[in-house]
Amino acid sequence: MTEPSADVLRIIRSRRVTRALTAQPVTPDQLDTVLEAASFAPSAGNRRLHPLVVVTDSRRLAVLRLVSPGMLQRPAAAIVICIDAANARRYGFRPDTPGLYVDVGTLAATILLAAHAIGLGSGPVTSFSRAAAAHVLGLPDGWGPRLIVCLGHPADNQPAGMRAKRRREALARTLWR
Ligand SMILES: Cc1cc2nc3c(=O)[nH]c(=O)nc-3n(C[C@H](O)[C@H](O)[C@H](O)COP(=O)(O)O)c2cc1C
C-alpha cells in the first residue's frame, strides 16, 4: 500500500473557504498551476466536457459579483465551471444527467485544493443568476455556468468557520457502517 502523504492530508484538512481576499492579483503562473491541476480531476467516462472560464478583469469580476448574492468575497480571479449542453449531448449525456454535476464537484474540489496548496484563498459559489452570469461572461450559446470558484490572496482576518468539533459531529451523524 502507498504510504499516506502527510502533505496531501494537511492540505485537505487546512483548506477553508476564504471569504476575505486582498486586492493583490493572481498571477498567470498561479492560474496555470491551478488549471493544470484541474485537468487531473476525476471525470465521468473520462470525457472532460466542462468549459472552464477564467475571469481576471476586475470590472467583469465586479459585475459578476453583482449577480452573485452568494459571492461574499471580492475575488482577484475566478474560474467558472460550465456545462456545455450541446457537447454533453454529442457524448451521449442528457444535460441534466448526474455525472455532469458530479464532474462540476470534482473539478471544484480539485481547484480549491490546488489553490490552497499554492497559498491562494478560494471559495465556491453556486448562489448566482446563471442567466445573468452567462451574459456578463459573454458565454457561447448552450454554455451554462454552474459553479464559480473565487480566487485571491487571503486577507489577515477571516470570518469564523465551522469548528473541528462540529466537523467530527457531522461525520459521526452521517457515517453508516
Ligand atoms: C456546492 C457548493 C456550493 C456552495 N456555494 C456557496 C456560495 O454560494 N457562497 C458561499 O459563500 N459559500 C458557498 N459554498 C461553501 C460552503 O459554504 C463551505 O464549503 C462550507 O461552509 C464549509 O466551509 P469550508 O469549506 O471552509 O470547510 C458552497 C459549497 C459547495 C460545496
Our answer on whether the CB atom of 126 is closer than 6 Å to any ligand 1 atom is yes
Q: Is residue 78 part of a domain?
A: yes
Contact 108, 38 (CB under 8 A): no
**Could you tell me the residue range of the domain that residue 27 belongs to?**
6-174
What is the per-residue pLDDT across 110-129, written as a single tens digit (0 to 9) for each? Answer: 999 999 999 999 999 999 99
How many domains is the chain partitioned into structurally? 1
Q: Is residue 22 part of a domain?
A: yes
| Average pLDDT value over all residues in the chain | 94
Q: How far apart are CA 115 and CA 74, in angstroms?
A: 16
Residue for grid cell 453556486: 126
Our answer on whether the CB atom of 28 is closer than 6 Å to any ligand 1 atom is no
Q: How far is CA 46 from CA 82, 111, 144, in A?
A: 16, 17, 20
Q: Is residue 30 part of a domain?
A: yes
Q: Is residue 88 part of a domain?
A: yes
What is the model's pLDDT at position 1?
A: 60
Our answer on whether the CB atom of 106 is closer than 6 Å to any ligand 1 atom is no
Q: Flag whether pLDDT at 133 surpasses 90.
A: yes
**% of residues, the chain, pLDDT over 90:** 84
- The CATH number linked to 55 is 3.40.109.10
Q: Is residue 1 part of a domain?
A: no
What is the model's pLDDT at position 3?
A: 76
Q: Is residue 154 part of a domain?
A: yes
Q: Is residue 67 part of a domain?
A: yes
pTM of the entire predicted model: 0.95
Q: Flag whether pLDDT at 165 surpasses 90.
A: no
Q: Is residue 33 part of a domain?
A: yes
What is the model's pLDDT at position 158?
A: 86
What is the per-residue pLDDT across 1-31, written as a single tens digit (0 to 9) for each? Answer: 677 789 999 999 999 999 999 999 999 999 9
Contact 66, 145 (CB under 8 A): no
What is the per-residue pLDDT across 59-100, written as a single tens digit (0 to 9) for each? Answer: 999 999 999 999 999 999 999 999 999 999 998 888 789 999
Residue nearest to atom 6 of ligand 1 (CA): 125
